[in-house]
A and B are shown apart, each in its own frame.
Chain A
Amino acid sequence: MLAAVRAALTTYVPVLPFVVFALFPYYHMAVTSLKADAELYNPLKNPLWIQDGATLDHYRVLVRETLFSRWYLNTFAVSAIATVASVIIGLLAAYALARLRFPGVGPFGVAIFVTYLVPPSLLFLPLAIVVNHLGLSDSVWSLVVTYPTFLVPFNTWLLMGYLRTIPRELEECAMIDGASRIQAMRRIILPLALPGVLSAAIFSFTLSWNEFLYALVFMGSGHMKTIPVGTVNDLIRADVFQWGPLMAAAVLGSVPVAVVYTFFVDHYVSGMTAGAVKG
C-alpha cells in the first residue's frame, strides 16, 4: 500500500505538470469548438470554461458549409499513400546503406541526409515546375510525389540506425539456410525492424498530415485542398477568424494522428530509442 502510494507520488506527480502543459492547447481547442458564438466572443466570460451550455453548431458549419469532409479525404489519401511509399523506399535505401558494401556508400548516406536539410520553402519552386510538367497540379498525386522528398531521407536515416542494431549474423545465417537476400530481408530483418518501421510510418504520417506549404502551392482549387490549407483558406477571411469552426476543424483534424500515436506508442518509443542509441 505504502509502496503504491510512493510509486504514485514519485512517478505520476512529477509528470503532472508536463501532462497539463502538453494537453492545455488541446483542451482549449476542444472547449472553444463547443462554445456558442455569443459566449465565445464575450470578453467577460471565462475563456477556459463553458458557462452557457455546449453546442455542436461549429461542427455543423464545418461539415455543411465547407468542403471539410472532402479535405479530410484528400489529406488522408495523400498521407496514407505518401507514407506507405516513403517507408518502403526508405527501408530499401536504409538496408542498402546499412548492409551492402559498395563504393561511395558513406558519401551517399550523407548526401541523402543533406537533401533532408534543404528547406521546403526553397524547394517548392523547382518542385512546382516538376509537378506542372508531370501534369499533376490540383490532384492528390502532386503531393504524393512531393512529400517523399522530405519523408524518404528522414525514413532512410531513422531506419539505417535501426537496422544497424540488428545483428548481421541473423541474415547471414538465413542466407546460408537457403534464403535469398530478399527473402532474408522479408522474413528475418523486416519482422525485427518492425518497431523502427512503425516509428518511421507514424512520423511520416504526421508530417504529411500537417504539411502546409506544398499543399498550399500544388493544390489550389476549392475541393482539392488538405485540412491545414482548407481551414486556413476558407475559415479565415481577411482579418476575420471564424474561431469556432477553426477550432472544430483542428479537433477533428488531430483525431487520426492521436489515434495512430495511441495505438503504436510502445513501438514508437522503442523504435525511437533504438535508433537514437545506435544510430
Chain B
Amino acid sequence: MAEVIYDHVTKRFDSVVAVNDLTLEVEDGEFLVLVGPSGCGKTTALRCLAGLEEVTSGDIVIGDRVVTHIPPKDRDIAMVFQNYALYPHMTVYDNMAFGLKLRKVPKQEIDRRVKEAAEILGIQDLLNRKPRQLSGGQRQRVALGRAIVREPQVFLMDEPLSNLDAKLRVQTRGELIKLQRRLGVTTIYVTHDQVEAMTMGHRIAVMNQGVLQQLDTPENLYDRPANLFVATFIGSPAMNIFPAQVVGGDGTVQLVAGDVKLEAPPSHRNRLADYVGREVLVGIRPEDLEVVAGNPESEGGDTVRLPVELIEPLGAETLVHLRGPAGTLIAQGEPRIHLDPGDVVTIRVRKDHLHTFDPQTELALF
C-alpha cells in the first residue's frame, strides 16, 4: 500500500496534449476516481501511472519511489482492463498465478493466494476453466482476482464495469467498494460514468481536455463545483444554467433573467457585489426547483411562475420541463404529479443552493 503522486505530469502525443500538467496526490488506502468525458485524458493518466505510456514531462511517485522511468513490471501495481485482458490460452488458475510465477513466488504460496482470492470473489469452481468458457461477470471477477493475488501497492482500474450489463454493474459496483475497503489497497479507478464516480470514490478527480478540473469528495463536488464544467458534468439530470443580470440597490442584490427576478441570498451578496451591472451564469440543480402545489398567496422573492413544456415521469420522481427565461429549465417534482404541457406552475427556488459562475472564466463565484 502506498500513496501516489502525479507531479506536474504532461503527456503529449505528437501535437495533442492528452494530459496537461496534472498534479494530484492520492493518499495511502484511498479510492480515487478519475472521471470525465471520453478523450479527457483520464485513461492516459492511468496508463502513465502504469508505465504503459512514457510521460512527456513531470514525475510520478508511488510510495516513496519516483517511478517515472521504471518499467511497468517493477512498479508493483496491478491493473484491471476494460476488456479484462485475460490470457485466452491459460486457465483461470494460471491467469491468476501468472504474475506470481514470473516473480518466482514459491508454489505453495501461489496456490494459497490464488485459492484465497478465488474464495473472496466466489470463483473457486472456475479455476480450471478457460476464459472463453466464462460469462462476462465471471471474466470480470477473474480479472479482479488476478490483480488481488499480486498484493500490489496500487490497484489501477480502467472502466472495469463498463462491459457488464446494467444490473450486474450495480451489483459488482457494491462488491468492488466493499472489497477495496476490506483490502485497503490504494485504488485509482477510471470511469466516464458519474454515478460510479459518486458512489465509489473517497475522492473524485474530474478531468476535461487533459486538465484536472477539480479534486474533491463526492459531496463537495456536487455541492460546490469549482467551475461550470464540473457543475454540469456531475449530477443527472444536469444542473440548469442560465444567464442573469446582477442588479444591486439598497443592500440587496437581485438576479434578473427576463421576467424572473430572484433576490440573491445573503451568502451570495458579497461575491456578487463586484458583478453588479454585469451578467453572470446562474446554476440551479433540478431538485432545488420545487414544484409548489396549488397557487400560494405569497409570491415572494423565492418563487417564480413558469409554463410547463413537458412532463417526464420516471417513477420515483417526475421531471418537469419548464419554459425558462433563457431556454428550458428542468425541475424535479414529486412522483405521480398531475400536470399538462401549457400549465403555469409555481416554482420555489432553494436559493441557498444557487450557484453562480463568471461567464468569461466559467469559474464558480465564492
Contacts and interface: CB of A to CB of B under 8 A. Distances in A.
Given A167-B85, A188-B87, A192-B88, A176 B102 contact: no
A169 B102 contact: no
A239 interface: no
B52 A178 contact: no
Given A172-B52, A191-B89, A192-B88, A177 B83 contact: no
13 contacts: A172-B50, A173-B79, A173-B81, A175-B52, A176-B72, A176-B78, A178-B73, A178-B102, A179-B73, A180-B71, A183-B102, A192-B88, A192-B89
Contact of A169 (B73, B77, B83, B103): B83
B81 to A, nearest CB: 5
A167 B85 CA distance: 8
Nearest to A166: B88
A117 interface: no
B87 A176 contact: no
A174 interface: yes
A8 interface: no
Interface in A204-249: none
A269 interface: no
B222 interface: no
Interface residues on B, range: 20 to 34
Given A176-B52, A176-B79, A183-B102, 7 more contacts: A170-B88, A172-B72, A172-B79, A176-B72, A177-B99, A177-B102, A192-B89
A121 B1 CA distance: 65
Prevailing SS type, chain A contact patch = helix
Interface string B286-298: 0000000000000
A223 B103 CA distance: 53
Nearest to A188: B87
B103 A178 contact: yes
A174 B83 contact: no
Nearest to B146: A177
Interface in A181-198: 183, 187-188, 191-192
Interface string B83-103: 101011100000000110011
Contacts of B98: 174, 177, 187
Nearest to A184: B73
B102 A179 contact: yes
Interface in A131-178: 167, 169-170, 172-178
B87 A170 contact: yes
A167 B52 CA distance: 14
B83 A167 contact: yes
A173 B103 contact: no
Contacts of B146: 177
Contact of A174 (B50, B77, B87, B88): B87
B80 to A, nearest CB: 9
B150 interface: yes
Contacts of B51: 175-176
Contacts of A191: 89
Contact of A175 (B73, B81, B83, B87): B73
Interface in A15-61: none
A175 B72 contact: yes
A176 B89 contact: no
A170 B85 contact: yes
B85 A172 contact: yes
A192 B39 CA distance: 30
A175 B71 CA distance: 8
A171 B78 CA distance: 13
Contacts of A172: 50, 52, 72, 79, 81, 85
A183 B88 CA distance: 16
A69 B153 CA distance: 64
A176 B50 contact: yes
Contacts of A180: 71, 73
Name the residue among A170, A172, A176 with the largest chain B CB count within 10 angstroms.
Answer: A176
Contacts of B71: 175, 180
* Closest CB pairs A-B (n = 7): A177-B99, A169-B85, A178-B102, A173-B85, A178-B73, A169-B81, A175-B72
Nearest to B158: A169
A29 B75 CA distance: 64
Contacts of B78: 176-177
A177 B89 contact: no
A90 B147 CA distance: 34
A239 B52 CA distance: 67
